[in-house]
Structure 1
Amino acid sequence: MKNRHRQLQTLIATVMAMFILLSVNIDAAPERPMPVTLKYNLAGTGSWVPYGFFGDVDKPGIFAEVIAAILDRAGYSFEFYYYPPKRADKAFDEGLLDVDFMSSAWFKDGDIGDPYVASSTIFNLTEYIVTLPENAHGYVTPSSIHGQRVGTVAGYDYHDDDKFIRVDFFSEARLIKGLQMLRFRSVILEGVTAKHWSSHYDVPIALASVHSEGEVFLRLRKEFSDLLPSLNEAITALKNEGEIDRIFQKYAVK
C-alpha cells in the first residue's frame, strides 16, 4: 500500500509539472485546474457488511477497496472522511465530499439530481424486503410495504419512501434487531448484509421480494464532469482485468 501511494504521489507531481509547462503560453487560465484529490466518505455505516467500512484495515470493505482501485488507476489521490450516512448526504451537497457510490434504483424515477453526474457502471446491487419467515407471504411484491411502517437506515435513499412510513435506525444491524423485537414487520436490506446480521443475532429471516435492483456507479458533483473519461477508462480496465470481481470474491460476494 505504501508503494502504491508513493507511486501515486510521483505520478501526481509529474502530471502537475507537465500541466505547468503546457500552461506557460496560455493567456486565459482554465476556470478550475484539474483536481488531484477527491474527497470520499469512508465511514457510511459500518454495519453495511461487507460493503461499508467496518474497522479492519486489511479488509476495509468493498466500497473502500473498489474506489481506491479506481482512483489509483485514474491517477487521482483521495482523502477519506468519516461522516455518518445522514451527515454525509448534507456534506456532499455542501461540497465537503466529492464522490460516492450511488444507484439510480435508489431514487424516485431514477433521478440522482441535477447537480451530479454519474460514471459508467461498476457492479450491480440488489436490495430486498426482509421479514421474519412467518410473515414472508405478506411481502411477495414490492408494493406490499406501501402504507406500512418499514425499517430503514437514516440517511439512505429509497425510491418509494413516499409510499410507506420510514422508521429510521442508525444501522443495518439495528434493523435486524428491530425486526426481531417486532418494531416493524419488514425492513429494506441488501441480501448479503441481511444474512450476515441474521446469522450474527440468530434471527431467522426471509428475503421476501426484491425492493430495488440496479447498477452502482460513482456519483460526482457536476463540476468534476471532466474527470469522467479517465474514471470510466479506469472502471473498464479494472473490470476487464477481473480486479472488481476479485475484490467481491475476497468478501465472499458473487
Structure 2
Amino acid sequence: MLVLGVQASPLKYNATASGSYYPYSTGVKENPGISHEFVIKVMAEAGIEIAHVSLPAKRTQQFMLNQQLDFEIVSPTWLTEEERNLQQFVFSDALLPVQELLVTLPDKVSKYASSNSIVGGTVGTVRGYYYHNDHEFIRADFATERELVLALSKKRIEVAIIGDLPALYWSQQLDIDIAFGAMHSKGQLHIRLRSKHKELLPKINDAIATLKSQGIVEQLEDKYLSPIIFKSMPHSD
C-alpha cells in the first residue's frame, strides 16, 4: 500500500521454494538464483521495498491464502484453472521460461513417454509445491528436488515431476543418471501479487520490461547455468 507516494511497509514474499530449486532459487543469500535475483532487481527498479520471509513451500501456499505474504514467484501452468482465476491475486508479466518433466531412471523412460502415464500412479513430488493435476495421481512428497533424485536412484519411487534444470543440476551434482519422459508443464514464471497491491502492477511490469531490454536475464543465465551440462529434452506429447 502507498501513502502519499511513500510505501507504507515492505511487501513480504517467499522465493526460496525447497531451497534446492537450482538455478531458479537456491536459498543462498549471496547467490539466490535466477528468478529470485531477477525479482529483487525488478522491485528495486520499480522502487518497491520488499522483505523476504523464509518459509517451506507448503507454508508459502498457506501464507499467500491467509494474506500473510504479499507475493510469490509462480508459473500459472502449475496451478489449477480455479487457482489461476482466484480474484485475490493478479499476475505480473512473464519473467522467465520454466518447464517440468516426468523424470525417471533410464531403464524406465519408455514407460513415461506420455503425460497420461502417471494417471492413477504414485509420483514423486516436492512437499508444498503446486501441481495442476495432482488429483490424477498419488503424491509421494519429498522435501526437495535433490531428495527426489536420490529417491529415484534408491528406487523408492519410479517417477517424479521435476523442473528440467533442477533435475539436470542434481543428477550431475549427485552423479546419478536420470532420463526425461513426457512434459508435465511448460510456461513462464510470474510474480503473483495480492490484488490489494494491484496498483503496483504497472510499475512492476515496466521494471520487468526495462531489465529485460538491458539483458539482465542473459546475465543471470550466464551466472547460474554454467555449472549445468545440458542434454536434449523431450517435446511435449
TM-score between both structures, scaled by the size of structure 2: 0.89
Match of 1:225 in 2: 198
Task: State how far apart, in whole Å, the 1-side matches of 2:155 and 2:8 are.
Answer: 49
Instruction: In structure 1, give the amino acid aligned to 2:64.
Output: F
Query: Which segments of structure 1 move beyond 6 Å, counting only runs of 4 or more?
Result: none
Match of 2:235 in 1: none
State the identity %. Answer: 33
Specify which of 98, 103, 121 is matched with residue 148 of structure 1: 121
Q: Give the drift of 1:110.
A: 7.3
1:72 aligns with 2:44: yes
Q: Looking at CA atoms only, which structure, 1 or 2, has the larger radius of gyration?
A: 1
1:44 aligns with 2:17: yes
Instruction: In structure 1, give the amino acid aligned to 2:155.
Output: L
Q: Give the drift of 1:147.
A: 0.8
1:214 aligns with 2:187: yes
Q: Tell me if structure 2 keeps the 8 A contact 1:149–1:164.
A: yes
Task: State how far apart, in whole Å, the 2-side matches of 1:52 and 1:110 are.
Answer: 26
Instruction: In structure 2, give the amino acid aligned to 1:147.
Output: G
Match of 1:121 in 2: 94
Specify which of 192, 214, 226 is matched with residue 241 of structure 1: 214
Unaligned runs of 5+ in 1: 1-14, 21-32
- Aligned CA RMSD, in angstroms, stands at 1.9
Structure 2 residue matching 1:244: 3-state secondary structure:
helix
Q: How does 1:86-97 map to 2 (within 5 A)?
A: 86-97=58-69
- Residues 52/95 of structure 1: CA separation in 2 closer, same or farther (3 Å cut): same
Q: Give the drift of 1:56.
A: 5.1
TM-score between both structures, scaled by the size of structure 1: 0.83
Select the structure that is richer in helix: 1
Structure with the larger RCO, 1 or 2 (CA within 8 Å, 6+ apart): 2
Match of 2:173 in 1: 200
Deviates more, 1:213-222 or 1:107-116: 107-116
Q: Give the drift of 1:63.
A: 2.5
Task: State how far apart, in whole Å, the 1-side matches of 2:68 and 2:219 are.
Answer: 31
Structure 2 residue matching 1:124: 3-state secondary structure:
strand
The count of aligned residue pairs is 225
